[in-house]
Structures are given as structure tokens and as C-alpha cells.
């Protein structure tokens, strides 16, 4: 037999076998064909998800505590493998679209969060975006600023800009920063365009709109709420601006002044917040409002050399850890109380399914504003006159002076958050817009001051645009949530809002127990009797206002 014929014959057999194999794959049955199979599939998927989240949280723990080796890229890769799995995504989409026929609200909720998480995860872990984002981060971190002929790092530069008392030197520093950032503006616009392309591929107008959807935030409601907050705080801000310009001996507030005038966040004297009393006061207070912390099992690790306090929900609810670095001062106390709020939410979540536990590892599975707002509720007790009198002995006169200074600073900080928020929002709507024109327009709107037209380049490239895109609203909303929850506590418990043991049950039932089984705004409405609106925050800041959102405007 001819060798060529034999070769041809063997190749033909291989091709037929390959065709049969491919045909079998094409007619392969779907992986999930029934509701019972869906339960099994989701349970398996969520075990993988929880394992990956736990590994990420352990990695973060080791980074902070220095207790073991860590490789964040490796731990994130396991989570990425889940959300880049097109087969798993297809199953979730198919069953989520059929969830109305399942007659199982909890199953439908799991599918909804998985649907959102897949959208968020596919973009967050997209190799093209990660590569682009990491390159930009590296470029920003490698920038060396020239100050007086000396090369300094970005953190040193920021510190000098905040603390430089001489206006002319501040201006020179600021212009140096703008000049260094200009070379990265095209890259920023490129990554915005790339994110928009990814968002548009899954049906959204732009990436900002997508991120709001993933957090169950109504875009129109958010804009109206922010605009209302801005407008209603304007009168008080103008008073602060007038006073500030007099102190600076200037006709206008310039962009290089903003960091300087807002750098000193008011605090009460450190003598009221000694380091060696921090845990005792925390435990005494939390026990007083009904949390049985002796049996809750929140693991507290004290490390004198730790540079920060942190809460890591390693595995919810069984492994909740707090890293404590006891230092004196009001800021340190607030940070510990804030993190303890996170720990309580993780420890008291009574849900069986990991996607509903709020691990906070991928956008779409939770709302960061709600998560942080409920934690800030604990920190906000430290701004309560009754709490301060009972636990620290602060005098009434000192408290009143502190509140006046705190409110003024908070109003400026609010506008500091609004400026980059509005700029970033507009850039995602129109990446081809002139960044300098946009900066001037928003600066004038927010700070009621005009940037000198003689300055050609004014756009400030905020690193958060790259590393934490579309997140500036989170701080504002979390402040609103904490303020509204505190008003509800005052309404329900009166002067016992710092000591009634029933408070723990109220917080647990409304905010912790059910995890992510319901939307965040429903939990706010259930706890406070109304949807989230800016009134409580404005009242906290001492701002009188007449206009409130109508029921139709609330979400």
C-alpha cells in the first residue's frame, strides 16, 4: 500500500473523530436543567466564592499584621477565575431571567446578586483593564516632584502642599503637581474610554452608570440628592468661605488653598481619649447597648507597632478579626469604633449563603455606602454630647466649640468630595470633554470661586480616578446613612440612645441579621421609617433647610 495513501487514510480517520467529538460537544446538555440542579450548582459556586474571599481577606490580614506571607495577586486570581468563567456566567444569566417563575425569593435574590457580581467581576478582573490600570498606578507612584531643587515622593509632595503656609509657595507647589500630572491625562482618558466600552458591551451608557446599577443606586435619585445637598449647604459654605478669605487675605479661594484650609480636622483634646482606656471604653459602651461581646467571638489582636486599626471579616460569621493599635486621640477612637461596627455586622449576619454575607470583594455583591454607613453609626456616637459626657468627661463648653469647628470643616470636606465626583461623572459621560474647562466649571460651582484664566492647565488628576473609580459618592452617602440612623435612634430611645440594651437588637434586626437578602435602601427604610435623604446629615451639620425630597423622589 502506498505510504501517501496510508497517511491520507490516517488523517481522514482523525478528522472524522474530531468532527464526531465536536458534534457531541455541540449537543451536550446544559449543566443546569432544573431548580434542584440549580441549588446544587449555586451551592458549589458559592463555596468556591467563599474560599476565594477568605483567601483574599487572609492575605489582607497578613499584609497588615505581618503574621505571614502574602500574595494578593495570587489570591485575587482565584476570585477572577470565577467571574471570568463564561459558562458560569451564562448559567447565572439564564436562571436569573427565569427567577420570576421559581417561587423562591431567597433563590431569586442569590441569582440577582450573582448576576450583578458577574458584571462587576468581569470588568474588574478584565486582563486588559487590569494591565492598563496597573501601569497607570505605577506611573503615578513613580512620579518624583521637584521641590526646591530636591526630588520628593508623591506622599511628601501632598504633605507639603497641605502644610505650606505661604500662598505663593503653595501655588508653585500646586502648579508643579499639575505639570507632572498632565502627561498622564491622555492615559486617564484612555482607561475611561476602555471602561466605557466594557460597560456598553453589557448594555450600559457608561461605566459610571454601570457601577451605580451594581450598587442598586438609582442614578437620577443620586444626582438629585447630591444637588440638593450641595444647594442646601451653600449658604453655610459661603459664610465659611467669606471668613476663610479674610484669614488668607485673598479675594478668591484658589485651588491650591483647598487642601490647606481643610487639613486640620477638629478634634477634642487627647486627654479625653487615652490609649490605655480605648478597649475598656469600647467594650463598656458596646455592652451597655446590649452586645454580649464576651461570647460574640470577635478576635481582637493588639499590635503596638501596627500602623492602623482594621477589621477583617475572614470567614463570616466564624472568623472576624480586629487589628488594634491603641493610640490616644479622638481620631483613633473613632477608627476603632468604626471598625467594630464592621465586625459586628460580619459576626451577626445569620445567612447561609456566601453571596449574601457581604464579603466586599467584588462590586455587585454589596453596597459599599451602606456597609460603611452602618459601621460609621458606631463612630458617630463619639460626636454625641451624652456619650462624651458619660465616657470621657468632656465639658459642655468644649463640646460646643468642637461642634462648631467640626461642622465648618465637614461642610468644606463635603464640597471637596463633590468636586471630583462631578468631574469624574462628566468625564465618563463625555471622555472627549476638555478636562481643564471641566475643572474650572466645577470648581466655580462647588467652591464659589473662579480659577485665574492666566493659568493654562488646572486639571487635577486624582489618583482615585484610576485606583478606585466612581466611588466619591460612597463617602457622602455613608455619612447620610449614619446620620439618619442616629436620628432614628434618638427618636426611638431618647436620652437612652447611648445606654439602652435594646439598641443592639434594633441594630441587629434592621442592619446585620439578614445580610444582603434585601436591598440596602429597604433596610434603611425599615430601620428609620423613611428612605435615605440628606435632611439628617444637614441637621447634624447645623444647617436649617426648608426643602426636602418628596416621596416620589426617594428610592
Exposure b/e, 22-48, CB count within 10 A at least 16 = b:
eeeeeeeeeebeeeeebeebbeebbeb
DSSP string, 371-413: HHHHHHHHHGGGG-HHHHHHHT---HHHHHHHHHHHHHHHHHH
pLDDT for residue 140 = 86
CA 199 distance to own-chain centroid: 20
How long a stretch of residues is the chain?
Answer: 555
C-alpha cell at 354: 456566601
The alpha carbon of 529 is separated from its chain's Cα centroid by a whole number of angstroms, namely: 25
Q: Is 493 helix (H, G, I), strand (E, B) or coil?
A: helix
pLDDT on residue 11:
46
Residue 121 cell numbers, joined: 467581576
Strand partners for 146: 151
Per-residue pLDDT for 550 more than 50? no
Query: DSSP alpha helices (H): ranges in 166-206?
Result: 167-182, 185-201
Q: How far is CA 326 from the centre of its chain?
A: 25
* CB neighbour list of residue 464: distance below 8 Å, 6 or more residues apart: 420, 471, 472
Q: How far apart are the first and last CA of the chain?
A: 81
Please give the average per-residue pLDDT across 489-505, as a whole number.
Answer: 97
Strand 150-152 vs strand 145-147: parallel, antiparallel, or unpaired? antiparallel
Rounded to whole angstroms, the Cα distance separating 189 from 432 reads 8
pLDDT per position as a tens digit, 236-289: 999 999 999 999 999 999 999 999 999 888 999 999 999 999 999 999 999 999
C-alpha cell at 108: 431569586
- How open is the CA angle 134-137-139, to the nearest 5 degrees? 110
Residue 545: its pLDDT value, please?
54
Contact 498, 385 (CB under 8 A): no
Per-residue confidence (pLDDT) for residue 156, from 0 to 100: 87
CA atoms within 13 A on the CB side of 266: 18
What is the CB-side half-sphere exposure of residue 294 using CA atoms within 13 A? 5
How many CA within 13 A on the CB side of residue 307?
Answer: 3
Contacts 24+ apart (CB under 8 A), 18-22: none
Q: What is the distance between the alpha carbons of residues 112 and 84, in angstroms, rounded to a whole number?
A: 18
Q: What is the mean pLDDT of the chain?
A: 91
How far is 456 from 178, CA to CA, in rounded Å?
A: 10
DSSP single-letter state for residue 30 = P
Report if pTM > 0.85.
yes
Q: Dihedrals φ, ψ of 147, to 5°?
A: -130, 110
What is the enclosing helix (H) or strand (E) of 512? none
pLDDT, tens only, 415-428: 999 999 999 999 99
Classify burial at 490, counting beta carbons within 10 Å of its beta carbon; exposed 0-12, middle 13-18, buried 19 or more: middle
Say if residue 55's pLDDT is above 70: yes
Instruction: Output the pLDDT for position 307.
Output: 76
Contacts of residue 325, defined as CB under 8 A and 6 or more positions apart, other chains included, come to 302, 303, 304, 305, 306, 307, 308, 309, 332
Residue 435: closest CA among 461, 452, 470, 459:
459
Preceding omega of 317 cis (within 30 degrees of 0): yes
Give pLDDT tens digits for 327-376. Answer: 999 999 999 999 999 999 999 999 999 999 999 999 999 999 999 999 99
pLDDT band at 187 (very low <50, low <70, confident <90, very high): very high
Other residues' Cβ atoms within 10 Å of the Cβ of residue 158: 16
Cα–Cα distance between 472 and 421 in angstroms, integer?
A: 5
Listed in sequence order, the residues at least 6 apart from 163 whose beta carbon sits closer than 8 Å to its beta carbon are: 260, 263
pLDDT of 95 reads 96
In 3D, which of 524, 544, 245, 190 has the Cα closest to residue 412? 245
Mean pLDDT score, 495-522: 97
Please give the grid coordinates belonging to residue 39.
441549588
* Whole-number Cα distances in Å, 167 to 260, 452, 455: 10, 15, 15
C-alpha 322/C-alpha 332 separation (Å) is 14
Q: Are 229 and 532 in contact (CB under 8 A)?
A: no
Phi then psi for 322, rounded to 5 degrees? -120, 130
Q: Identify the CA nearest to 140 among candidates 123, 150, 155.
A: 155
The pLDDT assigned to 30 comes to 57
Report phi then psi at 312, rounded to 5.
Answer: -120, 115
Domains identified in the chain and CATH numbers: 27-125 (no CATH), 132-555 (1.10.1370.30)
What percent of the chain clears pLDDT 70, i.e. is strictly above it?
Answer: 92
| Per-residue model confidence as pLDDT tens digits over 299-341 | 999 987 777 899 999 999 999 999 998 899 999 999 999 999 9
pLDDT at residue number 240: 95
Is the alpha carbon torsion for 10, 13, 14, 15 positive or negative?
Answer: positive
Residue 176 CA neighbour count, 13 Å, CB half: 22
* Angstrom distance (rounded) from CA 538 to CA 542: 6
pLDDT of 456 strictly over 60? yes
Compute the average pLDDT of residues 192-204: 97
- 27 pLDDT exceeds 50? no
Amino acid at each position: 500500500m502506498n505510504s501517501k495513501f496510508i497517511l491520507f487514510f490516517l488523517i481522514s480517520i482523525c478528522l472524522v473523530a474530531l468532527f464526531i467529538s465536536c458534534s457531541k460537544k455541540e449537543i451536550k446538555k446544559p449543566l443546569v436543567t432544573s431548580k434542584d440542579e440549580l441549588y446544587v450548582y449555586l451551592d458549589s459556586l458559592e463555596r468556591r466564592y467563599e474560599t476565594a474571599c477568605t483567601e483574599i481577606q487572609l492575605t489582607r490580614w497578613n499584609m497588615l499584621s505581618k503574621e505571614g506571607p502574602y500574595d494578593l495577586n495570587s489570591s485575587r486570581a482565584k476570585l477572577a477565575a470565577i467571574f471570568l468563567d463564561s459558562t458560569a456566567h451564562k448559567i447565572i444569566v439564564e436562571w436569573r431571567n427565569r427567577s420570576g417563575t421559581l417561587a423562591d425569593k431567597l433563590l431569586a435574590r442569590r441569582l440577582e446578586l450573582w448576576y450583578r457580581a458577574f458584571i462587576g467581576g468581569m470588568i474588574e478582573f478584565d486582563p486588559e483593564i487590569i494591565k492598563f490600570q496597573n501601569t497607570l498606578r505605577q506611573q503615578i507612584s513613580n512620579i518624583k516632584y521637584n521641590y526646591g531643587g530636591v526630588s520628593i515622593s508623591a506622599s511628601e509632595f501632598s504633605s507639603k502642599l497641605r502644610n505650606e503656609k505661604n500662598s505663593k509657595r503653595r501655588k508653585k507647589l500646586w502648579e508643579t503637581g499639575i505639570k507632572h500630572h498632565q502627561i498622564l491625562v491622555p492615559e486617564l482618558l484612555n482607561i475611561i474610554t476602555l471602561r466605557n466600552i466594557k460597560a456598553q458591551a453589557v448594555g450600559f451608557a457608561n461605566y459610571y452608570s454601570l457601577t451605580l446599577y451594581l450598587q442598586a443606586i438609582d442614578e437620577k435619585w443620586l444626582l438629585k440628592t447630591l444637588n440638593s445637598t450641595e444647594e442646601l449647604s451653600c449658604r453655610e459654605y459661603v459664610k465659611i468661605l467669606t471668613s476663610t478669605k479674610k484669614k488668607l487675605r485673598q479675594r478668591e479661594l484658589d485651588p491650591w488653598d483647598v487642601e490647606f484650609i481643610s487639613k486640620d480636622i477638629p478634634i477634642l483634646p487627647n486627654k479625653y481619649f487615652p490609649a490605655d482606656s480605648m478597649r475598656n471604653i469600647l467594650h463598656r459602651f458596646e455592652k451597655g447597648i446590649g452586645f454580649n461581646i464576651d461570647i460574640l467571638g470577635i478576635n481582637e489582636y493588639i499590635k503596638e507597632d501596627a500602623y492602623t486599626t482594621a477589621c477583617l471579616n475572614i470567614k463570616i460569621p466564624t472568623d472576624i478579626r480586629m487589628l488594634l493599635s491603641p493610640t490616644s486621640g479622638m481620631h483613633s477612637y473613632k477608627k476603632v469604633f468604626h471598625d467594630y461596627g464592621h465586625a459586628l455586622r460580619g459576626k451577626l449576619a445569620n445567612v447561609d449563603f456566601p453571596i449574601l454575607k457581604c464579603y466586599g470583594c467584588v462590586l455587585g455583591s454589596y453596597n459599599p455606602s451602606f456597609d460603611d454607613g452602618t459601621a460609621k453609626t458606631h463612630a458617630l456616637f463619639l460626636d454625641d454630647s451624652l456619650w462624651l459626657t458619660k465616657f470621657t468627661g468632656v465639658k459642655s463648653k468644649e463640646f460646643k466649640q468642637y461642634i462648631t469647628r467640626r461642622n465648618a470643616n465637614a461642610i468644606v470636606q463635603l464640597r471637596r468630595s463633590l468636586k471630583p465626583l462631578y468631574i469624574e461623572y462628566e468625564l465618563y459621560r463625555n471622555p472627549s470633554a476638555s478636562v481643564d474647562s471641566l475643572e474650572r466649571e466645577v470648581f466655580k460651582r462647588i467652591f464659589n470661586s473662579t480659577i485665574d484664566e492666566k493659568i493654562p492647565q488646572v486639571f487635577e488628576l486624582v489618583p482615585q480616578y484610576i485606583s478606585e473609580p466612581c466611588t466619591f459618592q460612597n463617602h457622602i452617602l455613608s455619612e447620610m446613612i449614619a446620620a439618619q440612623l442616629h436620628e432614628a435612634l434618638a427618636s426611638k430611645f431618647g436620652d437612652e440612645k447611648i445606654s439602652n440594651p435594646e439598641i443592639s437588637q434594633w441594630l441587629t434586626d434592621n442592619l446585620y441579621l439578614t445580610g444582603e437578602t434585601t436591598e440596602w435602601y429597604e433596610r434603611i427604610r425599615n430601620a428609620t421609617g423613611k428612605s435615605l435623604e440628606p435632611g439628617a446629615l444637614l441637621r447634624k451639620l447645623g444647617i436649617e433647610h426648608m426643602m426636602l425630597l418628596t416621596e416620589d423622589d426617594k428610592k
